[in-house]
Amino acid sequence: MEYSEIIQITLLSLRVSGIAVLLSTLVGVFTGAYIAVSQTRFKNIIVTLVNTFMGTPPVLLGLVLYLLLSRSGPLGFLGILFTPEAMILAQFLLTLPIITGLTITAIEALPQETKEFFRSLAIPKHYELLLTLNEARVGIFGGVLAALARAVSEVGAVIIVGGNIRYYTRVLTTAIVFYTNTGEFEMVLWLGAVLTLVYLAINTVLLILRFKLGVKGA
């Protein structure tokens, strides 16, 4: 067992999942908020599509990305197949609907009186949007947590577009699959323990952020 390899795998997992969720948070929170407060007649259709994409099978997404990013694919010129960048892209696309959908849910769950009060302030739309996001922050934190957990535990898409290359694209979940198949169960147990600690760290950090920001509840 190589402890240096476990450290490298763990750091790569955190980097890939962290960047992917950061990007999907930046895009998904504001996209979800805009959809939630919009009055378009197509809103229900858009929300249905977002909720549908929340259940996208990772293997299907990985296959589609593989076809797009392969040398003969339309995005093959990017040259990112079997790289950490392709894995980040896969996890970004997986987590974006989760954060977007749960942001919509969190905002729509706000009392109608609260939303009407924000509208009555006659402030610019982007300020109203920020106030709404702040009021719905508990649900949004939950969406980010769910997305991060999905990213860290995901294996299907990243193994297809990343290739599970040792010291380059092998993350915790794909490493567990590899070492299970080769019968190196001691390594599997260590990687599983590290993955559990990562989950614990994620939840601890989010709990601290909730208290720091004065967020009550779950």
CA-wise closest residue to 95 among 210, 209, 182, 18: 18
For residue 116, give its domain range.
3-212
Q: Which two tokens stand for residue 86?
A: 């392709």
Residue 87 located in a structural domain: yes
Residue 8 located in a structural domain: yes
Q: Residue 94's domain is classified under what CATH number?
A: 1.10.3720.10
Residue 200 located in a structural domain: yes
**Per-residue CA distances from 153 to 18, 134, 158 (Å):** 12, 28, 10
CA distance 105 to 164: 36
Q: Please give the pLDDT value at position 129.
A: 86
Residue 31 located in a structural domain: yes
pLDDT per residue as tens, the chain (218 positions): 578 899 999 999 999 999 999 999 999 999 999 999 888 889 999 999 999 999 889 999 999 999 999 999 999 999 999 999 999 999 999 999 999 999 999 999 898 888 888 878 877 878 888 888 988 888 888 889 889 988 999 999 999 999 999 999 999 999 999 999 999 999 999 999 999 998 888 788 777 776 776 555 44
Q: Which two tokens stand for residue 72?
A: 């003969």
CA angle, 26 then 29 then 34, to 5°: 120
Residue 217 located in a structural domain: no
Q: Please give the pLDDT value at position 163.
A: 92
Residue 218 located in a structural domain: no
Are 97 and 153 a contacting pair, CB within 8 Å?
no
Residue 106 located in a structural domain: yes
Q: What is the pTM of this model?
A: 0.90
Q: Please give the pLDDT value at position 218.
A: 43
Q: Please give the pLDDT value at position 100.
A: 96
- φ/ψ of residue 99, rounded to 5: -65, -40
CA distance 59 to 157: 5
CA atoms within 13 A on the CB side of 184: 13
Domains of the chain: total: 1
